[in-house]
């Protein structure tokens, strides 16, 4: 991707001028005339788009009309365009309420198919509405379609920021997946089950927890298995407890016991949607248990340690364990399979091919050999489709960042408007950072982020650990304040030796007048600030660095082996030994050095970052945690996340409104709930990736190859679904299951 500084993005903004330089009167007048002409051109574009939107609105083509208004907002914010968006949102809200009312009446009279039809119409209008997804899951469950019920409940869970609601629905999800009756009587000691669920969600799912141990897989996993041991005695036949007990046995190098318990799980839940996965896991564990001698024992230990590393998403360490197993017993085919699928998930085609071909040489069973053929025969084509989706997402997100960071307004006087609350209560440091950032129209940002996210997720469907796709997803998930999902993506990037990154405005205590837009790269051995542009807060003008940052002016938005971090860009590298401390101060991350102090204000595209109180510190803390996890700086100090009494009195209702931005944007971006055991989501995203590939590669010179790739891949979607399932099984391993502790109140809901 190349986004030149001096090229005007069609829907994004102001054309740029060359950096400020000595000018004579004639050139200054010429520049002024150019600006005026460009301003008139933009105004004309906006007027035409608004007129088109109003025309479509009169025809009741609301979705198309809203797109026109949002396009106008992408050029400049106007009352006409925003008014149109608000009108359509109100109309669509009423349409959805009407459809949900009709769906509820149909549901209550047992007409589940009719209810599903109405809910699907509502979903076309509001795709992220959790209540619609929940009600669809309810209807599908009533018709016995558990596969689709699982897909919809995942979507509902993914839109809920409330942990208690999520836990309740996750328990119902387990019931749907296993096809077992709901939990038993009120006399059952449900508290112990619920405690395990909370421990799992808080410990195993908390990516900022640095605790780990090579031998036992970390304190969190150990405590979960201690709880499972007690639960197994009380709930010997509960399928989820049995499955979780099998997982603990696997990680404790008791593969034979794990295989036996998986057989119990299969018997207890014969209709489970993950039956095929459980059978494959049982088969692999039985194979491991059969290995003889010291080399067999060594292989089992390496596989068990790898399973523990997978829990913590230390994929590089898991691969190292499999490579050690390969040395211990070179003729064991399953090791080559694990390595081949891991490298495939990274998008490393050469290493994936090497190990999968070795697997075929070592594996005597013809049916298993054919599994490797599914992967090998499509590796190159899938890589091309993956890269097309990455490039599409990168272009969309890159344009937003270029504009928001003020890179496209270099040489032009720029002053951002502050809200009343910001003027009254925000610190001078926050005001400086805000001045240097261009605030974009929220509806436009939301639409563009959603488009980029869909493309990046389609890429991740093909290579789920691909560094490029996961870097993009992490950046967008952080924009949606969806930190757990962001860390899952960042972990995939870090495991391949690449720095994780975010964008921020940077203020150095020694140069208080200058605010620099920067890409913040965090590696295991250093922090690197890649400077993109400098904003003089007195002159209110941005200037470019002497060396362009990367080939996209963003310090290389995504990095890979083909495009590593730009070593030539103007930057500052900070080693851990140079740091006196890292802390959260309001919404800033503060890097304290011996003779300096650097303030990082993370970019928030979706809303103004909260600037005071508990909400601000919660926002800043998540970025501070990145330094704990990826730099290994465990002494970083987090800010208190609750609001003090004084802050409540001082800021009153204003800060309450600002604090809401954290929770509100989570729903739009989703929360990365696990995909249900069904091919439905695989198929949807693979088709999306193929559509992106066709669009990106529409030039005549490559049209024939594009058509061949798309036709070939569409012809055997089942093969692609199998490769996606194999990747999911290997890189996720045996994940703990949430245990149903009490019946869910299964009733039609108009909101969640």
Higher pLDDT, 215 or 266: 266
Please give the pLDDT value at position 161. 66
């211990």: which residue's tokens?
328
Please give the pLDDT value at position 222. 58
Average pLDDT over residues 500-523: 91
Please give the pLDDT value at position 414. 65
Contact 534, 514 (CB under 8 A): yes
pLDDT band at 29 (very low <50, low <70, confident <90, very high): low
- Which residues are paired to 507 by β-bridges? 515, 599
Bridging pattern class, strands 514-522 and 541-543 = unpaired
Q: In 3D, which of 601, 545, 409, 372 has the Cα closest to residue 8?
A: 409
Average pLDDT over residues 139-155: 91
| DSSP at 574 | E
Which 3 state secondary structure label does DSSP give 524? coil
Average pLDDT over residues 576-595: 93
pLDDT in tens, 620-641: 999 999 999 999 998 899 988 7
CA–CA gap between residue 118 and residue 120 (Å, rounded): 5
User: Does residue 105 carry a pLDDT above 70?
Assistant: yes
Please give the pLDDT value at position 183. 58
Q: CA triplet 169, 172, 175: central angle to 5 degrees?
A: 155
Q: In 3D, which of 225, 334, 345 has the Cα closest to residue 280?
A: 334
CA–CA gap between residue 211 and residue 245 (Å, rounded): 22
Residues of the chain above pLDDT 90, percent: 52
Higher pLDDT, 399 or 165: 399
Average pLDDT over residues 276-297: 95
Report the number of secondary-structure helices (H) and strands (E) in the chain.
28, 8
Average pLDDT over residues 39-66: 94
pLDDT band at 288 (very low <50, low <70, confident <90, very high): very high
Give the tokens for residue 266. Answer: 């299969």
Average pLDDT over residues 722-739: 90
Q: Which range, 222-236, 284-298, 480-494, 637-651, has the best average confidence (pLDDT)? A: 284-298
**Chain mean pLDDT for the chain:** 83
Average pLDDT over residues 510-515: 83
pLDDT in tens, 394-415: 999 999 999 888 887 776 666 6
pLDDT band at 101 (very low <50, low <70, confident <90, very high): very high
Q: Does domain 386-647 have CATH number 2.30.29.30?
A: yes
Range scoring the smallest mean pLDDT among 383-392, 442-451, 649-658: 649-658
Please give the pLDDT value at position 411. 67
Please give the pLDDT value at position 531. 94
pLDDT in tens, 461-472: 999 999 999 999
* DSSP H or E run through 572: strand 571-574
CA–CA gap between residue 208 and residue 186 (Å, rounded): 36
Please give the pLDDT value at position 465. 96
pLDDT in tens, 322-346: 999 999 999 999 999 999 999 999 9
* DSSP H or E run through 506: strand 500-508
Higher pLDDT, 243 or 190: 243
- The model's pTM is 0.87
Please give the pLDDT value at position 680. 64
pLDDT band at 687 (very low <50, low <70, confident <90, very high): confident
Please give the pLDDT value at position 345. 97
Residue ranges covered by each domain of the chain: 184-330+716-752, 332-377, 386-647
Please give the pLDDT value at position 416. 66
Range scoring the smallest mean pLDDT among 197-201, 267-271, 497-501: 197-201
Number of residues assigned to the chain: 752
Contact 673, 681 (CB under 8 A): no
Average pLDDT over residues 104-127: 95
- Which residues are paired to 518 by β-bridges? 504, 531
Range scoring the smallest mean pLDDT among 106-120, 210-224, 431-445: 210-224
Please give the pLDDT value at position 628. 93
């Amino acid at each position: 991707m190349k986004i030149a500084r001096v090229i005007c993005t069609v829907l994004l903004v102001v054309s740029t001028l060359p950096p400020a330089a000595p000018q004579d009167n004639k050139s200054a007048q010429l520049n002024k005339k150019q600006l005026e002409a460009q301003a008139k051109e933009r105004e004309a574009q906006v007027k035409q788009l608004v007129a088109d939107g109003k025309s479509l609105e009169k025809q009741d083509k609301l979705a198309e009309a809203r797109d026109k208004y949002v396009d106008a907002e992408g050029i400049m914010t106007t009352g006409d365009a925003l008014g149109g968006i608000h009108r359509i949102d109100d109309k669509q809200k009423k349409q959805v309420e009407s459809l949900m009312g009709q769906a509820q009446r149909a549901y209550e009279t047992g007409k589940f198919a009719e209810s599903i039809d109405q809910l699907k119409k509502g979903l076309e209008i509001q795709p992220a509405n959790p209540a619609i997804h929940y009600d669809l899951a309810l209807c599908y469950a009533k018709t016995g379609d558990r596969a689709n019920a699982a897909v919809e409940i995942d979507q509902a869970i993914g839109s809920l920021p409330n942990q208690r609601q999520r836990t309740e629905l996750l328990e119902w999800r387990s019931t749907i997946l296993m096809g077992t009756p709901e939990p038993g009587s009120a006399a059952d000691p449900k508290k112990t089950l619920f405690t395990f669920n909370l421990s799992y969600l808080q410990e195993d799912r908390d990516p900022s927890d640095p605790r780990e141990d090579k031998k036992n897989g970390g304190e969190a996993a150990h405590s979960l298995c201690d709880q499972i041991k007690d639960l197994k005695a009380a709930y010997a036949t509960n399928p989820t407890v049995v499955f979780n007990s099998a997982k603990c046995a696997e990680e404790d190098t008791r593969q034979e016991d794990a295989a036996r318990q998986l057989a119990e799980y299969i018997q207890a839940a014969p209709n489970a949607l993950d039956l095929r996965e459980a059978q494959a896991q049982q088969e692999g564990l039985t194979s491991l248990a059969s290995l003889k001698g010291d080399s067999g024992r060594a292989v089992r230990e390496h596989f068990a340690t790898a399973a523990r590393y997978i829990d913590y998403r230390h994929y590089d360490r898991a691969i190292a364990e499999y490579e050690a197993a390969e040395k211990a017993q070179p003729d064991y085919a399953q090791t080559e399979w694990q390595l081949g699928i891991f490298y495939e998930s990274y998008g490393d085609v050469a290493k994936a091919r090497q190990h999968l071909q070795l697997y075929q040489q070592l594996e005597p069973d013809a049916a298993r050999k054919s599994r490797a053929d599914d992967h090998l025969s499509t590796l190159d084509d899938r890589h091309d489709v993956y890269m097309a989706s990455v490039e599409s997402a990168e272009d969309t997100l890159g344009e937003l960042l270029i504009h928001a960071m003020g890179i496209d307004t270099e040489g032009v006087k720029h002053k951002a408007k502050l809200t009343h609350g910001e003027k009254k209560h925000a610190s001078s440091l926050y005001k400086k950072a805000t001045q240097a950032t261009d605030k974009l129209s929220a509806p436009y940002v939301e639409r563009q982020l959603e488009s980029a996210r869909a493309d990046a997720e389609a890429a991740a469907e093909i290579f789920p650990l691909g560094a490029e796709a996961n870097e993009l997803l992490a950046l967008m998930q952080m924009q949606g304040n969806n930190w757990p999902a962001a860390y899952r993506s960042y972990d995939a990037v870090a495991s391949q030796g690449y720095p994780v990154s975010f964008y921020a405005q940077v203020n150095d205590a020694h140069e208080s007048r200058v605010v620099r837009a920067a890409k913040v790269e965090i590696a295991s051995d250093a922090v690197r600030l890649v400077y993109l542009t400098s904003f003089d807060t007195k002159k209110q003008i941005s200037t470019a660095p002497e060396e362009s940052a990367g080939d996209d002016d963003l310090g290389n938005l995504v990095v890979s082996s083909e495009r590593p971090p730009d070593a030539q860009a103007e930057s500052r590298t900070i080693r851990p030994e140079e740091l006196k401390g890292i802390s959260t101060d309001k919404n800033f991350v503060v890097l304290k050095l011996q003779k300096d102090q650097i303030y990082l204000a993370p970019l928030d595209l979706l809303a103004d970052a909260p600037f005071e109180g508990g909400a601000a510190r919660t926002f800043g803390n998540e970025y501070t945690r990145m330094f704990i996890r990826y730099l290994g700086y465990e002494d970083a100090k987090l800010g208190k996340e609750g609001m003090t009494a004084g802050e409540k009195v001082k800021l009153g209702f204003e800060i309450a409104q600002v604090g809401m931005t954290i929770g509100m944007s989570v729903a739009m971006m989703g929360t990365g709930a696990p995909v249900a055991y069904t091919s439905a989501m695989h198929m949807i995203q693979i088709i999306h990736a193929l559509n992106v590939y066709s669009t990106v590669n529409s030039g005549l010179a490559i049209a024939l190859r594009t058509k061949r790739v798309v036709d070939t891949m569409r012809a055997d979607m089942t093969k692609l679904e199998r490769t996606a399932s194999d990747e999911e099984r290997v890189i996720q391993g045996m994940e703990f299951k949430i245990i149903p502790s009490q019946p869910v109140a299964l009733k039609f809901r108009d909101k969640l």
